């Protein structure tokens, strides 16, 4: 019965060989993720600035509500990758972070508390995709008009938010606080 262990070893070796999963190189993944997040952020900011200029934050909320997700989806489809905004305290409940996303938010927040800049994280999945998570901070005073404390948000703006997002959790932030993350999903063929 000496053959049994040998067969087992051969079977395991064959098993290992069957799945040569290759991922996009890590440095390239971070570069592409950063570029895509910046692209989407620029589009969102542009849309937001235009809407605020035309009618203040109150008018900008329904516009933001209708356009934010399609705009992010458009950038994702143009670049052929996955792109999502997530938060531990979301405005839109569809953008609630859980699992690894939530853990990453907590680690980014700890980094900020310790006075260091949160660095993107890279997670290689068994199916060959790579998930990159990047911090989203309250980078401009503008954000506070809709995500700040009671002193920053006007009564009308608060009412407009409540109407569209009765379960809103996305207020009470201060400048430079962590607001959430970009979650970028890349496949091996995203490598140039």
Q: Nearest distance from residue 70's CB to ligand HEC, in Å?
A: 9
Closer by beta carbon to ligand HEC, 10 or else 175 = 175
Q: Which of 77, 140, 149, 176 binds ligand HEC (CB under 6 A)?
A: 140
Give the residue from 60, 81, 40 showing the smallest Cα distance to 154. Answer: 60
Q: Is 64 in the site for ligand HEC (CB under 6 A)?
A: yes
Q: Which of 29, 37, 60, 153 binds ligand HEC (CB under 6 A)?
A: 60
Applying CB under 6 A, which part among 1-9, 15-23, 54-62, 104-112 lies near ligand HEC?
A: 54-62
The answer to whether 149 touches 119, Cβ cutoff 8 Å, is no
Applying CB under 6 A, which part among 29-37, 65-73, 101-109, 122-130 lies near ligand HEC?
A: 65-73
Q: Which of 75, 81, 136, 178 binds ligand HEC (CB under 6 A)?
A: 136
> What token pair was written down for 92?
């839109």
- Ramachandran bin of 123, using left for φ above 0, alpha for ψ from -120 to 50, beta for the remaining angles: beta
Give the residue from 35, 38, 43, 31 showing the smallest Cα distance to 74. Answer: 43
Cα dihedral: 133, 141, 67, 186 (round 10): -10
Integer Rg of the chain from CA: 21
Q: Is 170 in the site for ligand HEC (CB under 6 A)?
A: yes
The answer to whether 173 touches 138, Cβ cutoff 8 Å, is yes
Residues that bind ligand HEC in the complex, under the rule CB under 6 A: 48, 57, 60-61, 64-65, 68-69, 85, 87, 90-92, 95, 136, 138-140, 142-143, 145-147, 170, 179-180
């Amino acid at each position: 019965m000496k053959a049994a262990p040998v067969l087992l070893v051969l079977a395991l070796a064959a098993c290992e060989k069957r799945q040569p999963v290759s991922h996009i190189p890590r440095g390239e993944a971070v570069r592409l993720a950063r570029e895509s997040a910046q692209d989407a952020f620029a589009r969102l900011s542009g849309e937001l600035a235009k809407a605020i200029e035309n009618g203040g934050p109150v008018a900008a909320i329904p516009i933001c509500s209708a356009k934010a997700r399609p705009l992010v989806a458009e950038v994702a489809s143009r670049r052929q990758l996955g792109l999502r905004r997530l938060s531990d305290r979301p405005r839109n409940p569809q953008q609630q972070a859980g699992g690894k996303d939530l853990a990453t938010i907590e680690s980014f927040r700890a980094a900020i508390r310790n006075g260091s800049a949160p660095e993107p994280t890279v997670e290689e999945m068994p199916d060959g995709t790579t998930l990159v998570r990047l911090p989203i901070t309250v980078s401009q005073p503008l954000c506070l008009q809709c995500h700040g404390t009671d002193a920053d948000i006007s009564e009308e703006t608060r009412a407009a938010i409540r109407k569209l997002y009765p379960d809103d959790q996305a207020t009470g932030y201060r400048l430079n606080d962590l607001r959430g993350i970009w979650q970028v999903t890349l496949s091996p063929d995203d490598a140039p």
